[in-house]
Amino acid sequence: IQSTMIVDKDFKLAEVDPRVYGSFIEHLGRAVYGGIYEPGHKTADEQGFRSDALAAIRALNVPIIRYPGGNFVSGYNWEDGVGPQEKRKRSLELAWWTTETNQVGTNEFADFAKLVGSEVMMAVNLGTRGIDAARNLVEYCNHPSGSYYSDLRIAHGYKEPHAFKTWCLGNEMDGPWQIGAKTAAEYGRLANETAKAMRWVDPTLELVACGSSGSGMDTFAEWEATVLDLSYDNVDFLSLHTYYNNNEDDTPNFLARSLDMDQFIRSVAATADYIKAKKKSKKTIYLSLDEWNVWKSQGSSRAEQLWQVAPPEFEDVYNMEDALVVGCCLITLLKHADRVKMACIAQLINVIAPIMTENGGPLWLQTTYYPYLHTSIYGRGTVLHPLITSPKYDSKDFADVPYLEAISVYNEELSEVTVFAVNRHLSEGLELTVDLRSFGAVHVLEHIVLEHEELKACNTKQSPETVVPHNGGSAQAEGGRMTALLAKASWNVIRLR
Ligand code: AHR
């Protein structure tokens, strides 16, 4: 079967905002404790951060990391996580029914983010708290000095402000599971008033309002419209959260899930633009997909978790087909680079994550690490409009699913163009011909492939290199045309110059 792409440097869709390659670390499971932070681990630095985790994260070049939650943030008192560690409270954590030791808090996370070269996307608690705690936290983090909270930060050993720029106004406030869940009208008003006060402390902030926890929520779309109606002028982004799984074991349908992400993005953009029209505004609200991933596990019950410190939770083991879906989602985000300016694969380590560690033991990389790594490294520059032809199939929930999912990104500085492509066909290779008209005579620098005969194959502590990329793909270029045979069920990165 055959497919084609036209890649032209004049067909500019948008610059990639590097923040689409963001991730997320919540005080949940072993993400913080046992993930990034484990004093006593043989690789721990003097502060207690695991150097093996720092290295694996640094390699991903993660531009921004959302913190501290998630559901966790809706019951979090940020004051408990600052000051001398030995004096910090142990708190009952009601989002996940565990004990929070508060050994890692805002300042430690800022240190960690520096070590891995990331910005922090801070979230404020709009569940149990509100305007006051939020504006105090902004003052603590970003105000230089001369006020109570900025001087407190200095007294805690952090003379320079953290200068966190991107802030989430709460988390999933539409979800009944959220501590302090709200109606759209309650939340819209609170988000608006909190945004005003936070920006009066620091006018440079970029603020993200909560959209729906998922497109399946009963209140979906109405929630977005109401929240934006009440906060339009004071927020910059609207969040989208979405997770996929193959718990029905229907792989063709699972591989099509990125079409759902595509439709979700289109629907939220349309809803935001409806409010823009209603308000006769010149301002566009951008989208932040600040939680997305494959998520299969159900999670423990309250009784199983009860008040343990950092028990393992949501430690999904990802296989080859999960990596293909993650790849398709990354391509989908890039296809919307004109509207989606931030996105966070949720999460980064140990909790539904591309990176896994064992307490006291080694670190290994899941299958999903690789499409994330490749797009983050090679997908910087300008997204070119994808003009694609591909044979299609129908699945249980989707019609006209193209076998080829693809996008190209042009990095002008390096004069490199990269094609990211997934072949969704489970039993046949897909011939791809790319017309590179405006690029002249290009050559293939590398054709990286992630593939495995067994779609359920995964990397584990015992066999961490079962599914790893190779660069033996078949891409060849001649006279402005590139041809490749994309292996069945494969992730491909074709780098050309
Ligand atoms: O990422 C795990 C959880 O999923 C987050 O805490 C919550 O926001 C979402 O429901």
Q: Are 257 and 325 in contact (CB under 8 A)?
A: yes
Our answer to whether residue 186 is catalytic in this structure is no
- The angle subtended at Cα 348 by Cα 87 and Cα 69, nearest 5°, is 50
Global pTM value? 0.98
User: Where does the pLDDT of residue 239 fall: very low under 50, low under 70, confident under 90, or very high at 90 and above?
Assistant: very high
Q: What per-residue confidence (pLDDT) applies to 329? A: 98
Query: What would the two tokens of residue 119 be?
Result: 């910005």
d(CA 389, CA 368): 27
Q: What per-residue confidence (pLDDT) applies to 303? A: 83
Q: What per-residue confidence (pLDDT) applies to 299? A: 87
Average pLDDT, the chain: 97
Query: Mean pLDDT throughout 407-423?
Result: 97
Complex confidence, ipTM: 0.99
The answer on pLDDT for 101 being more than 90 is: yes
Q: What per-residue confidence (pLDDT) applies to 389? A: 98
φ, ψ for residue 192 (rounded to 5)?
A: -65, -50
Q: How many CB atoms are closer than 10 A to CB 492?
A: 29
Question: Cα(first)–Cα(last) distance of the chain, in Å?
Answer: 27
Is the beta carbon of 71 within 6 A of some atom in ligand 1? Answer: yes
Give Cβ neighbours of residue 361 (< 8 Å, ≥ 6 apart).
461
Query: Between 106-116 and 131-142, two packed helices, what is the crossing angle to 10 degrees?
Result: 50
The atom of ligand 1 lying closest to the CA of 291 is 1
Is the beta carbon of 70 within 6 A of some atom in ligand 1? Answer: yes
CA–centroid distance, 72 to ligand 1, in Å, is 8
Query: What would the two tokens of residue 359 be?
Result: 């307490």
Tens of pLDDT, residue by residue over 21-70, are 999 999 999 999 999 999 999 999 999 999 999 999 999 999 999 999 99
Of all residues in the chain, the percent with pLDDT exceeding 70 is 100
Q: What per-residue confidence (pLDDT) applies to 301? A: 85
The atom of ligand 1 lying closest to the CA of 346 is 1
Query: Mean pLDDT throughout 308-331?
Result: 97
User: Where does the pLDDT of residue 275 fall: very low under 50, low under 70, confident under 90, or very high at 90 and above?
Assistant: very high
User: Where does the pLDDT of residue 386 fall: very low under 50, low under 70, confident under 90, or very high at 90 and above?
Assistant: confident
The atom of ligand 1 lying closest to the CA of 177 is 10
Query: Mean pLDDT throughout 352-378?
Result: 98
Tens of pLDDT, residue by residue over 433-491, are 999 989 988 999 999 999 999 999 999 999 999 999 999 999 999 989 999 999 999 99
Position of tokens 């792989």?
A: 251
Q: What per-residue confidence (pLDDT) applies to 304? A: 87
| Residue 100 host element (H or E) | strand 98-100
C-alpha neighbours within 13 Å on the C-beta side of residue 68:
30
Ligand 1, atom 4, lies closest to the CA of: 70
Q: What per-residue confidence (pLDDT) applies to 41? A: 98
Query: What would the two tokens of residue 245 be?
Result: 């799984």
Query: Mean pLDDT throughout 7-17?
Result: 97
